[in-house]
Structure 1
Amino acid sequence: MKKLYLIKRYKLYIWLIPIFLLLNLLGDVVEGAGDFPQRAVNELWLVCYLTVANYRLFEYALPAMSWKRWFESFLKVLLYCFIYSLGFFLWRSLGVTLHIYTVLDKTISIPERIGGLTGYSIGSVVIFGITRHIFNYVKLKQSSQQLQIESQQAELNYLKSQTNPHFLFNTLNNIYSLARDKSDLAPESILRLSKILRYMLYETSAPYTAIEQELRIIDDYIALEKLRYDESLQVNFSHDLEDSRQGIPPLLLVPLVENAFKHGVSETRDQPRVSIFLSVKKRVLLFTVENSTGDPADNNKVKENIGLSNLRRQLALLYTDYSLDIRPGDFMFTAVLKINLNSHV
């Protein structure tokens, strides 16, 4: 991890060499200075020195300074004052000696030359410092966003780990009722449960599943629930889809269907019924589940179970444009889910 961090830092300062060089050459062009090739070589020689000096300053010297070690910090300040003034001048002189740096104006005195180079180096500190600050801010923001994504994904996985066993528990209860009554429908219910389990094991780990696949699971679940009731139960499941292959998070719609049977139909004595309608048009999903209840509107208070509360939280993590309305009525309960599928986070 530390090695990767250092590589990124090296790349930052290496990229700053041509950027700072171009800024200075642009200044020479604006001023109309001649001898452009020689100036370019001179600037490159100076920029290489300042890049190393700024790297040491920002990555090692400044982070190590503190009031507790004030004397050591004071010595470092003096050292870098030397590096950015007389040291910079000595580097220029070395370039002259090696015939790398070309003196273009011999009329400037040494004190003036040192003063000009000091101003040049201070300008580099400002530019390198601002660029480094922006780089750190962007990296920090990216790390924060990545941490948030990982945290949300962990929460989604936790919600799924709660919802799936809850859904399975309710289904097993239904099969238990059939087995206890020694119903001939128990084998069929186990077969349908195996299909649901296969889906939960192999499909729900993916972020998306095709709507048509979700519809098949809802069909299997409805069929499994209908085995518990006689012909008095009325179930109407219809849909209107522009494209049944569009993707949605797996098992996103099942909690509303499960809620209709467990907390609605099971408490209805006379003519229990469930009406389910799914529409997806222009990337807008509308899912309406209506079920009978055993209470009038005054007594039909909304008590959200694990399935509904987890569904709300999953929607908040997955989408930015959605609504989930729970509407209790006279002996009737309606849940309406609307999602703009394009608003997926």
Structure 2
Amino acid sequence: MKWLSHIRRYKLYVWLVPAFILLNLLTDAIESTLNFPAKAVNEIWLAVYLSVVNYFLFEYSIPGMSWKKVFRSVLLVVLYFFVYSLGFFIWRQIGIGIHVYTVLDNTISVQNRIGGLLGYGIGSVIVFGIARHIYNYINLKQISQQLRIESQQAELNYLKSQTNPHFLFNTLNNIYALARDKSDLAPESILRLSKILRYMLYETSAPNTSIEQELRIIEDYIALEKLRYDDSLNVNISHDLEDAKQGIPPLLFIPLVENAFKHGVSETREHPFLNIHISLKNRRLIFTVQNSTGEPATDINIKENIGLSNLRRQLALLYTDYHLLIEPANYKFTATLNINLNSHV
């Protein structure tokens, strides 16, 4: 991580130093176009010195200053005062000596020259300081955004790691019941379970899957559940889709279907039913699950199991415009999931 910090520092100065030079050249051009080539060379010579000094000031000296090291901090302030005044003047004289810097006005005294260079140096500190502050602020926002995305992704993966075993546990319970009764349907149930496992292994790691693929898994899951029931269970699946290839998060609907069986259909003694309808129009997805219950509405307790609670949290992480409506009624239970797919975070 330390080398990344150094790269960010260098990236700042790669564009800041040329920008500082251009700013001074533009100021010189506005003031006067006489001797502009010589002025340009002078500005570049002075900017080289100030860039190096400002780099060490902002990246090493200022971060090391503190009240606990007050004596050292005061010495650094005094040192930089001379660096921006006398040191700057000496650098100018070196430029003159090697014929890089051109003297354009011989009437200014040494004292006034040093004072002017000090003001120039302080001005560069202000420019570099403001630019560095803005650059660091933008970087911190980007890092914060990236950390937020990574944190959300980690939480989504955690929720999936909870939902998938929970879903498999209930499915295995169904197969166990069939095997215990030595049912001839046990091999078929294992085959359907293998299809679901294949889907969970190879498809759910991706951020999205198609609606049609999700519907196929729901149909396999329902077929697996129906093995426990006789012909009295009535299941109806319908859909109205503008685009069956539309991507959605994997296993988004399963918790609602699973909940319908576990806390509704399985507790219904007479005429159990399950109705599922999914529609997609203008990027508005509506998934409705209606199932029978064994109790009147006054006695129904809405059970927020792992599947439903995880679904709510996943929705909160993935979308900004969604509604999950749970409606208990007399011997009937309806769950409606309404998502604006354009509101994906």
The answer to whether structure 1 residue 45 and structure 2 residue 56 are counterparts is no
**One-letter amino acid of the structure 2 residue matched with residue 278 of structure 1:** I
**One-letter amino acid of the structure 1 residue matched with residue 297 of structure 2:** A
**One-letter amino acid of the structure 2 residue matched with residue 92 of structure 1:** R
Q: What residue is the counterpart of 1:85 in the other structure?
A: 85
Q: What residue is the counterpart of 1:170 in the other structure?
A: 170
Q: What residue is the counterpart of 1:142 in the other structure?
A: 142
Tell me, what secondary structure is at the counterpart of 1:275? strand
Query: What do residues 221-270 of structure 1 show as CA deviations (whole Å, max 9, x unaligned)?
Result: 01111111111111110111111111111101111011111111001111
Distance in 2 (CA, whole Å) between partners of 1:251 and 1:68 is 57
Over the matched positions of the two proteins, sequence identity in percent amounts to 73
TM-score w.r.t. length of structure 1: 0.98
Q: What residue is the counterpart of 2:106 in the other structure?
A: 106
Distance in 1 (CA, whole Å) between partners of 2:113 and 2:193 is 86
Distance in 1 (CA, whole Å) between partners of 2:288 and 2:30 is 68
Distance in 2 (CA, whole Å) between partners of 1:306 and 1:8 is 43
Distance in 1 (CA, whole Å) between partners of 2:34 and 2:119 is 21
Q: What residue is the counterpart of 1:201 in the other structure?
A: 201
Q: What residue is the counterpart of 1:222 in the other structure?
A: 222
Q: What residue is the counterpart of 2:304 in the other structure?
A: 304
Q: What residue is the counterpart of 1:275 in the other structure?
A: 275
Q: What residue is the counterpart of 1:253 in the other structure?
A: 253
**One-letter amino acid of the structure 2 residue matched with residue 198 of structure 1:** R
**One-letter amino acid of the structure 1 residue matched with residue 275 of structure 2:** S
**One-letter amino acid of the structure 1 residue matched with residue 132 of structure 2:** R
Distance in 1 (CA, whole Å) between partners of 2:49 and 2:272 is 84
Tell me, what secondary structure is at the counterpart of 1:104? coil
Q: For residues 5-20 of structure 1, what are the structure 2 equivalents within 5 Å? A: 5-20=5-20
Uncovered stretches (5+) of structure 2, i.e. residues with no partner = none
Compute the RMSD of aligned alpha carbons: 1.1
Shift in Å, 1:103: 1.2
Q: What residue is the counterpart of 1:36 in the other structure?
A: 36
Shift in Å, 1:8: 2.0
Q: For residues 180-195 of structure 1, what are the structure 2 equivalents within 5 Å? A: 180-195=180-195
**One-letter amino acid of the structure 2 residue matched with residue 302 of structure 1:** I
Shift in Å, 1:33: 4.0
Shift in Å, 1:30: 2.2
Tell me, what secondary structure is at the counterpart of 1:68? helix
Q: What residue is the counterpart of 1:76 in the other structure?
A: 76
Query: What do residues 67-116 of structure 1 show as CA deviations (whole Å, max 9, x unaligned)?
Result: 22222211111110001111111111111111111111222221111111
TM-score w.r.t. length of structure 2: 0.98
Following TM superposition, where does structure 1 have runs of at least 4 consecutive aligned residues deviating by more than 6 angstroms?
none
Distance in 2 (CA, whole Å) between partners of 1:118 and 1:34 is 24
Distance in 1 (CA, whole Å) between partners of 2:115 and 2:79 is 17
Shift in Å, 1:306: 0.7
**One-letter amino acid of the structure 2 residue matched with residue 287 of structure 1:** F
Distance in 1 (CA, whole Å) between partners of 2:71 and 2:183 is 88
Q: For residues 306-325 of structure 1, what are the structure 2 equivalents within 5 Å? A: 306-325=306-325
Q: What residue is the counterpart of 2:55 in the other structure?
A: 55
Distance in 1 (CA, whole Å) between partners of 2:297 and 2:7 is 66
Query: What do residues 108-148 of structure 1 show as CA deviations (whole Å, max 9, x unaligned)?
Result: 22111111111111111001011111111111121111111
**One-letter amino acid of the structure 2 residue matched with residue 319 of structure 1:** Y
Distance in 1 (CA, whole Å) between partners of 2:116 and 2:40 is 17
